[in-house]
Structure 1
Amino acid sequence: MAKSTKKSPKQNEPDNNSQQLRSPSLVEYGFRAATLDSSIFPAFRSKAELVLHSLGSVAATGLSLAIWVQYSGNSPLPTGGLNSIYPVLVSFSTVMVGWMMWAFVAKAICNMMGSEIDFRSSMRSIGIAYSPGVFLVFGSIPLIGSYLFLIISVWLMATVTRAIASANNVTLVKAIIPGFLGWLMSWILLMGWMVIYPFALV
C-alpha cells in the first residue's frame, strides 16, 4: 500500500489574516491624519467604535494646550490650590467645546452641499484630525513659542479641512469654507476669549 504524501496541516501555524486585519492604533491614525492622509477619514465616518481614537486625539490636544497655558504668559500662573487647576480645566474644556462646535459647523455646511453626514460622524472624522495639537506643548519655548503655536494652529486647520473633504466626499475647495469658519470660531475666537486672553496674555 502506497503511503500518503499529503501533509497534515500545522497546528500552530500563525493566522496571517488576523494579523492583516489588525486595526491601527491611535498613534498610527494620528500620524496619518497629521500627514494629511485622506484615506483614514471615511472609516471614522462609518465606524462608531473609532470614537475613542477621536476622543483621545482631542484630549491630547487639550492637555497640550493646558501645558502651554501653564508655562506661557508674561507672569507665572498660580501654582498652588485650585487656582493652579483652573487654567488647566478651562483649556481642556475649551478644546472639547471647540471640537463639537467645529463638527457642527462642518456638518451644517456640508449638508447644504449635499452630504448626508450626521453630527457624531462629523465629530469622529474631525476629532482624529486634531492630532497636530499635541505639539502645542512646544509653544511654551521662549522666543519661538508664539511662532510655533501659529504654525501648529494652521497645520491643525489643514488636517481638519482635509478630514471634512474626505469624510463628506466634497472637493478640497468646498471643504475650505467649513474648515476655515470652524477654525475661526472654535480655535481663534473661542480659544482667544476663554484661554489666550485671560491666561496666556496675563
Structure 2
Amino acid sequence: MNNLLDRMLRAALLDVQLYEEVEADQEAMGQAIAVVVLSNMAAGIGNIGQGGLSGILLGAILALVGWFIWAYITYFIGTKILPEPQTRADLGELMRTIGFSSSPGLLRVFGFVPLLGPIIVLAASIWMLVSMVIAVRQALDYQSTYRAIGVCVIGWIFYIIIMIMFTILFVAAL
C-alpha cells in the first residue's frame, strides 16, 4: 500500500519519472485501476448529496469503463494517427500512465464543502488534465508536449461523443 500511495503522490506532483516507471511496470495495472476507482469514489463522496451511495458505486464502474475507452482512443490516435518517429507503446502502457494521472482527483472528495467545494473540484479536474498530458507524452515517447495535448483533446472529444451515445442508448433502453 505504501508503494501505491508513494506513486499516487509522485503522479500528482507531475513526476515524469513516475510515469516512465509505471509505463514500464506491467505489474502496476492493478494499482492504476485502484487509482481510477479511488479518484472516482472521492468524486462520488464529494457529490454524495446528488448521487447517494448508489451513485458512488455506479460512478466507479462507469469510471473504469470510461478509463478503458479513453485510453484506447488515446492509444489509437497517439500511435496510429499522430505518432512521432520514436513512438512505441502498447495499450497497457497508456492505461497504466493514464490511470495514475487520476491521482489529483482524490481532492474531489471535498466537493461537498460549501463555497470551496466547486473550486476544489475544478482545480482537481484541471490538475488531472495536466497529469494526463504528461502521462500521454511519456507513454507515447513524445518530444512535443503540444502533440500530447492534441492527442488528449482529440481523444476527449471522441470519448465525449461515445459516452453521449452510450447514455442515449441506456436511456432509450429504460
Q: TM-score, normalised by structure 2?
A: 0.81
Given the alignment, which residue of 94, 119, 144 partners 1:147? Answer: 119
Q: Percent identity?
A: 25
Q: Using the TM superposition, give the Cα deviation of residue 43 of structure 1 relative to its aligned residue in structure 2, in angstroms.
A: 2.2
Given the alignment, which residue of 35, 55, 59 partners 1:87? Answer: 55
2: CA distance between counterparts of 1:141 and 1:179? 30
1: CA distance between counterparts of 2:158 and 2:119? 21
- 2:171 maps to what in 1? none
The unaligned stretches of length 5 or more in structure 2 are 168-174
Q: Using the TM superposition, give the Cα deviation of residue 51 of structure 1 relative to its aligned residue in structure 2, in angstroms.
A: 1.0
- Note if 1:62 corresponds to 2:37: no
Q: Measured at CA, do residues 183 and 30 of structure 1 come closer, stay the same or move farther in structure 2, by a change above 3 Å?
A: farther
2: CA distance between counterparts of 1:142 and 1:153? 18
2: CA distance between counterparts of 1:130 and 1:55? 10
- 1:26 maps to what in 2? 4
2: CA distance between counterparts of 1:145 and 1:126? 25
Given the alignment, which residue of 162, 171, 188 partners 2:134? Answer: 162
Q: TM-score, normalised by structure 1?
A: 0.70
Moved over 4 A (4+): 183-191
1: CA distance between counterparts of 2:156 and 2:112? 21
The unaligned stretches of length 5 or more in structure 1 are 1-23, 78-83, 195-202
- 1:174 maps to what in 2? 147
- 2:27 maps to what in 1? 49
Check the 8 A contact 2:77/2:155 in 1, yes or no. Answer: no
Please give the secondary structure, in 2, of the residue aligned with 1:25: helix
Check the 8 A contact 1:57/1:131 in 2, yes or no. Answer: yes
Check the 8 A contact 1:105/1:178 in 2, yes or no. Answer: no
Given the alignment, which residue of 40, 45, 66 partners 1:98? Answer: 66
Q: Using the TM superposition, give the Cα deviation of residue 177 of structure 1 relative to its aligned residue in structure 2, in angstroms.
A: 1.2
Q: Using the TM superposition, give the Cα deviation of residue 108 of structure 1 relative to its aligned residue in structure 2, in angstroms.
A: 1.1
Q: Measured at CA, do residues 136 and 189 of structure 1 come closer, stay the same or move farther in structure 2, by a change above 3 Å?
A: farther
How many equivalent pairs are there? 161
Check the 8 A contact 2:46/2:110 in 1, yes or no. Answer: yes
Which structure has more helix as a fraction of its residues?
Answer: 2
Q: Using the TM superposition, give the Cα deviation of residue 104 of structure 1 relative to its aligned residue in structure 2, in angstroms.
A: 1.2
